[in-house]
Amino acid sequence: MQIHEMDHIKIHWTPGHTGIPDNELADEEAKKAAAGDSSLPHQLPKQLRLKKCQGHILPHSKFAAKQELYSNIKEFQKDIFNQSKRAGYALKINSILPSSAFLKLTKDFQKRYTAILFQLHTGHALLNHHLHQTTKAPSPTCNYCSHHKETVTHLLLECMHFSAQHTWLHHKLTYKMKIHTHNLAILLSHPKCVCATLKYVHS
C-alpha cells in the first residue's frame, strides 16, 4: 500500500472475535504468519530481512525466544521432579509442585525455613522414619511414643507429646483464621498456615 502526503491513517481499537470482518481477516493472517506463512522476502521491509545461506527468513522475536526458553526449563524441572522418588509423596500434599506458587510462598523466608518446608513436603525431613531409611537412626518410631512411626503426619497431627503445641496451632488457625488444621496439605501449602506450621515445628 502506497501512502501519499494527503492520506491520513486512523487507528481504532476493536474487540477481538466479535464478528468484525476486517478484524477477523487480520486475525487469520496473523495466525498464518505465526505458523511460518510469511510474505515473500522482497516484499518485506529491509529491517525484517535476514540473510542466510539459503534465501531470507524473518528474525526470531527476542521476547518469544525467552518465553520458549523459560517454558522449556520449567518443563525440564518438572520432569526431573516427577521422576524423583519423593514426587509421589509431595504431590499428595501439593499437586502443583514444582511451581512458581511455592517460590512466591517462600520468597520472604530464610533459606533454612524454605528447606524445612520443602523437606516436610517430600517426607525427607529429619524425622526417625526417614533417618532410619538412610541408616541414621536405629528405629523409625517416634522417640516419645514408641509405637508410632515418626513421620511428617505424626509430627504435625498425631504425636500426643506435643499436645500443647497442637492446641496452640489449632487455636490460631481454627478460631482466628477459620482454617481446618487436620489436613497436612493445608498446613504445608496454605499461605495463611505456613508460618504458623513452621513456628510449631520450631517449638
Q: What are 87-135's pLDDT values in tens digits?
A: 888 888 887 787 788 888 888 899 999 999 989 998 888 999 999 999 9
pLDDT at residue 96 in the model: 77
* pLDDT, position 137: 92
pLDDT-derived band of residue 53, with 50, 70 and 90 as boundaries? very low
pLDDT computed for residue 139 by the predictor:
93
Q: Quickly state the pLDDT bin for 6 (edges 50, 70, 90).
A: low
How remote is the C-alpha of 92 from its chain's centroid? 15
Domain spans, the chain: 66-202
> Which residues lie below 8 Å from residue 198, measured CB to CB, with a gap of 6+?
113, 116, 117
pLDDT tens column, 55-65: 555 556 788 88
Instruction: Write down the pLDDT at residue 5.
Output: 56
pLDDT (mean) for 129-151: 91
| Residue corresponding to grid cell 539459503 | 54
